[in-house]
Amino acid sequence: MNLGFALLAVTVTTALIFDFLNGFHDAANSIATVVSTRVLSPRLAVLWAAFFNFAAAFFLGTAVAKTIGKGMIRLDDVTQYVVIAGLVGAIVWDLLTWWWGLPTSSSHALIGGYAGAAVTRAALNRGWAEAYQVIIPQGWTKTLVFIVIAPVMGFVLALIFSTAGYWLLRDKSPLQVDTWFRRLQIVSAAAYSLGHGGNDAQKTMGIIAGALYTSGYMSRADMGHDWGHYKWPIILAAHTAIALGTYLGGWRIVHTMGSKITKLRPFGGFCAESAGALTLFGTALAGIPVSTTHTITGAIVGVGAVHRLSAVRWGVARRIVWAWILTIPASAMVAGAVFWVIRVFYRAA
């Protein structure tokens, strides 16, 4: 086995480990509402979510993967070491925020780590004055804009669904409403899990495609189309990894998402999941890499706010927002430090 292939194997394995941890870290996004409303038991909920995370491989295309793979960092400035350092930066930040119980974005940790490693390499090679030329502004503009837009979309849609639902069901008894929406929430949880898998697994797919390109296994033409004969192996590997991570789950974050932000009933859970699913379907098909965590958190806040603003625990929401703000720079700094260490031991990195 030559060094180049061995390095590619390490890179792809690290990417799939990140994808697994993404599912583990973001399991709460898919199941917090359905567990907190007691529609499904935790174990059955993670099975349900994991299945639809995997099923998304066949429904939501690869537009987000292409944005990550070739639309954010200039490929000529990417090496296997940049990809590995970026993944390590994202993994470290994910593990820290999992330990702290904060539902931060694995997606933004990934793009922050990827950018941090690439910028550090350019700075070491050409100086800081030219380091930021590795960034492709168009890809970053829509990603950064949707850091704000995605949770607002989730919030507004959930608010609309909740308000309309309360008006339409005003003559129904709470028992009737609970009975209907305990069933409907199973459907909305499946839809949200489909959107979660379709958006988040694609980010790892883009990273793997970039690694194959830098190692010479894919051409620039492949990167612009469907990755040639590597397409389905990449798709199935990424979706399998995220589904396994979701199955094992992250219960610390489930508790934060399902009960600390606001108390949910089946009707509220249905509205939050439906709003989140619609947002994720639209952004996945448009190739915009949004945070599933931001989206569902905004939707949960929207459900709480329909009653009264005091129904939302703004102290918890504030901690979550600060974690969002810090995710990209923190993971970028960790990845940059990792790349610097690699460069110390291997000058050709």
**Which tens digits make up the pLDDT trace of 328-349?**
898 999 999 999 998 888 776 6
Q: Is 263 exposed, middle or buried (0-12, 13-18, 19+ CB in 10 A)?
A: middle
DSSP 3-state of 250: coil
Distance CA 223, CA 226 (A): 7
Per-residue model confidence (pLDDT) at position 258: 47
> What pLDDT, on a 0 to 100 scale, did the predictor assign at position 240?
93
pLDDT value at residue 254 = 54
Phi, psi of 135 (to 5 degrees): -80, 135
Q: How far apart are CA 179 and CA 84, in angstroms?
A: 49
What does the pLDDT read at residue 313?
Answer: 57
- pLDDT, residue 186, reads 87
Distance, in Å, from the CA atom of 174 to the CA atom of 179, rounded to the nearest integer, reads: 9
Q: What is the pLDDT of residue 117?
A: 92
Q: For residue 89, which of 67, 62, 108 has the smallest C-alpha distance?
A: 108
Distance of CA 245 to the CA centre of its chain: 13
Place of tokens 């909740």: 162
Question: What pLDDT score does 320 carry?
Answer: 62
Tokens 């992250």 correspond to 250
Residues 126 and 257: their CA atoms lie apart, in Å, by 44
**Is the distance from CB of 60 to CB of 285 less than 8 angstroms?**
yes
Instruction: With a cut of 70, list the residues of the chain below it in pLDDT.
Output: 1, 26-30, 32-33, 101-104, 220, 222-228, 249-264, 307-321, 323-324, 348-349
| pLDDT at residue 236, rounded to an integer | 92
